[in-house]
Amino acid sequence: MEELTDEVLLQLIHLGNESALGALYDRHGKAAYSLAYRMLGDVHAAEDAVQEAFVNVWRRAGSFRNARGTARTWVMAVVHHRSIDIGRKRRGIAPRELPLDLTLLPADSHDTWSEVSNTLDRALLKECLEQIPLEQREVIELAYFQGHTQREIAELKGIPLGTVKGRVRIGLQKLRGLVLELGLGGSTDEP
């Protein structure tokens, strides 16, 4: 199975091949768990999130469409959503309605991630985030890693919703530019 691409593994999973699911876990399980652990801060909850996410992948591998993004992106999105659900449940917050299927979205036309992911490591990515001004970074982290909605963040921080949206927008634009610069030697499509 080592030679198979993620996309082929998903096809095999769709056909009911357990070894393919094991191979996909071997490839992305650690990154998935690292994300879940960061979001939930608890070993058992993180494991539950990863387990439920991979079982979702098992159930829905057939809905993956290669043209809409990479298999890794899809798997990590499933893990992210499961972690948000579990985190909110544990904090006694109402569960959220999350996007049903991220694979419905088109991939970035530059397909940059597949290029940069081969060359960047976690430390460099973290450096990118740290270069973003604190107030922008904070709202992004509250949304992505803590699973808060932008409206909840506005209430939490006592700032207008529009301000939260503006900070998120500028912060993500900066992060995209920084990752592109880092991964593609300064060749970006940023205006």
Name every residue whose Cβ is closer than 8 Å to that of residue 191 and which is 6 or more positions away in sequence. none
107 binds other proteins (CB under 8 A): yes
Q: Are 55 and 11 in contact (CB under 8 A)?
A: no
What sign does the dihedral 132-143-21-60 (CA atoms) show?
A: negative
Window 146-165: residues binding other proteins (CB under 8 A): 147-151, 153, 165
- Please pick, from the candidates 6, 86, 90, 106, the single residue that binds other proteins as defined by CB under 8 A: 106
5 binds other proteins (CB under 8 A): yes
Window 35-74: residues binding other proteins (CB under 8 A): 35, 37-38, 43, 46-47, 50-51, 54-55, 58-59, 62, 65-67, 69, 73
- Please pick, from the candidates 27, 81, 82, 87, the single residue that binds other proteins as defined by CB under 8 A: 81
Question: Contacts with other proteins: how many residues (CB under 8 A)?
Answer: 85
Whole-Å CA distances, 97 to 60, 88, 147: 18, 12, 12
- Please pick, from the candidates 113, 135, 138, 181, the single residue that binds other proteins as defined by CB under 8 A: 113
Using DSSP's 3-state secondary structure scheme, residue 125 falls into helix
Q: How far is the CB of 59 from other proteins (least distance, A)?
A: 6
Q: How far apart are the first and last CA of the chain?
A: 42
- Please pick, from the candidates 11, 45, 82, 86, the single residue that binds other proteins as defined by CB under 8 A: 11
Over its C-alpha atoms, the chain yields an Rg (Å, rounded) of 17
Q: Are 130 and 94 in contact (CB under 8 A)?
A: no
- Please pick, from the candidates 42, 88, 135, 144, the single residue that binds other proteins as defined by CB under 8 A: 144
- Please pick, from the candidates 93, 156, 169, 187, the single residue that binds other proteins as defined by CB under 8 A: 169
21 binds other proteins (CB under 8 A): yes
**Count of Cβ atoms closer than 10 Å to residue 90 Cβ:** 12
Nearest to 50 by CA among 23, 73, 75, 14: 75
- Please pick, from the candidates 90, 93, 99, 156, the single residue that binds other proteins as defined by CB under 8 A: 99
